[in-house]
Amino acid sequence: MKLAAILRTTALVTAVALIPATTATMAQVDGRAGPQFAKLFATYQRIKANYVEPVDDDKLIRGAIDGMLASLDPHSAYLDGSSLQRLETMIDGNYSGLGLSVVLDEGAVKVISPFRGSPAEKAGVKAGDYITHLDGKLIYGGDLDDAVAQMRGPAGTSIKLTIYRVGRDEPLEVSVTRGVIELEPVSHSLEAGNIGVITVNEFSADVGSDVLTAWKEIRKEAAGRVNGLVLDLRSNPGGSLDEAVALSDLFLEKGRIVSQRGRARGETLLYDAETVFRGDMAEGLPLIVLIDAGSASASEIVAGALQDHRRALIMGERSFGKGSVQTLLPLGRDAALKLTTARYYTPSGHSVQEGGIKPDISVPQLSDPDLAKRSKYVLRESDLKGHLVNELDLEDEALETDKQVDPRFKLTAEELEKQGIKDFQLHYALDTLRRTAPSAVALRD
């Protein structure tokens, strides 16, 4: 795979803005940094001359690069070989494997979320799980790329995962059969009461158009009598910035959608409504947007825009809190830096970094039997080592108000299962639209 092929793709906000940099945009080395470079070179020389075993130059240079980037934030990284292939896979959304979104957390491979309908989800892997062994081999303290490479493989082959799950005394061993992961970016359904549901799993190419097509199908199935719409962005880690803008534009007739602000010239950009789609495709219709801790970046852009413009009621759990943008800076033909270069802001000027998008109505996923145990260890941007700090210096207490017990939500997972409710958050959103007057839900100016 060549870097040029990636650079031809659209900007990503997972958040990864793929914008090739020119020589003019590269920061010049401060002359005062000379002594520091001397220390770096001296360290290299001492290692080469005195380490107990011979050390390859590539290993030392790669280690120095990784160390520099790791000191910045969790999302800046050096990409080559398999890591560039992973980026291509993320863009294409088609590979053979388990269907997991993972992150390295203090040396452990932690599951952010399994993709919906993936082999991992069907096997019972859950968000928040820690994968400690693959086929009995310890992967703790290893490289994330190596772990991902081991989990991928030909469709039909199996791999055994050893999982530590918070609240369980013993590790779990789960056998997962790899499959072809073809992520379905958009799906839809028409529920009782003529309430439409559009689920966006990732912001890949043409998501805005796909959502518009889904809306037309819903209207056709409902014979034009749609009474409400749920836009489900839960466990959506992001994707194309352009598609986040396009999706927001489907519901907005005027105003700012998102702004991006950075230090370098050209990194400050403004995105407004009516630039992709004309009008509000569901004008006058009550809209609820579902989010959770796995809703990041592009998902937060959409939720923030619709919330600030009072076009939708945001429901669920506080989002991930990923408010930075990365730029891909080429280093030759087959390598690149993925460097954090900007922050993005909602129309009201709110940065989602750390704090995320706070729902208008916090609704816990009561249908999850492990909710109480896993909610204590949910992973968000603010939990990542070295994350960027919000300019407002948010207090931890302000970020945890969504964990307060709401007297409306007392049913247990067992009680909900007896009622046939498998997804309480979606059930609550649908029920809200069925029993609430449109003017009270749409929240339009």
Backbone angles phi, psi at 226, to 5 degrees: -85, 135
Of 249, 280, 322, 338, catalytic: 322
Residue 308 known to be catalytic: yes
Non-local CB neighbours of 63 within 8 Å, separated by 6+ positions: none
Strands 137-138 and 108-114, bridge-based pairing: unpaired
Crossing angle of helices 241-249 and 207-221, in 10° steps, is 30
- Give me Rg for the CA atoms of the chain: 23
Residue 297 known to be catalytic: yes
User: Which runs of consecutive H residues, i.e. helices, occur in 8-94?
Assistant: 34-50, 57-70, 82-92
Paired tokens of 197: 């549901």
Residue 348 known to be catalytic: no
* DSSP letter string, 104-124: EETTEEEEEEEPTT-HHHHTT
Rounded CA-CA distance 84/334 in Å is 8
Residue 267, classed as helix, strand or coil, is: coil
* DSSP letter string, 278-305: -S-TTTT--EEEEE-TT--THHHHHHHH
Of 113, 295, 297, 382, catalytic: 297
Non-local CB neighbours of 29 within 8 Å, separated by 6+ positions: none
Rounded CA-CA distance 201/178 in Å is 20
Rounded CA-CA distance 273/277 in Å is 8
CA 133 to chain centre: 25
Overall residue count recorded for the chain in this entry: 445
Of 308, 324, 338, 367, catalytic: 308
Which residues participate in catalysis according to the annotation? 297, 308, 322
